[in-house]
Amino acid sequence: MYAGRAGDWLLILTGDDFKVIRVSVVVRNAARQRVEEGFAKPASGSAAVAWIYGAQTALERGQTLTLEVTATDRCDHSSSLTVLKEI
């Protein structure tokens, strides 16, 4: 579970008629500065419906982060979701 520590993870669930092939994640701090970004990996045995992103950066507790997730399908259509996360 993601709590702003390096090694924490995000579980991302996707669904698409044209199969999601890539999920990117951007983490922004309370000042909206990009502090981390990367790609999630398909969870084992999930047929690319569940994706896991492993955090690399330890962040200061007591702030609200912005998590931006973008899923892209094999037709190169993308859909994004932004979530606020208090740590």
Question: What are the chain's domains?
Answer: 9-86 (2.60.40.1220)
- Cα angle at 55 between 79 and 14, to 5 degrees? 30
Structure confidence at residue 47 (pLDDT): 65
This prediction has a pTM of 0.89
Whether the predicted pLDDT of 38 surpasses 90? yes
- Average pLDDT along the chain: 92
The model's pLDDT over 46-61, given as tens digits with 9 standing for 90+, comes to: 666 899 999 999 999 9
SS3 category, 70 = strand
- Side-chain half-sphere of 59: how many Cα atoms within 13 Å? 25
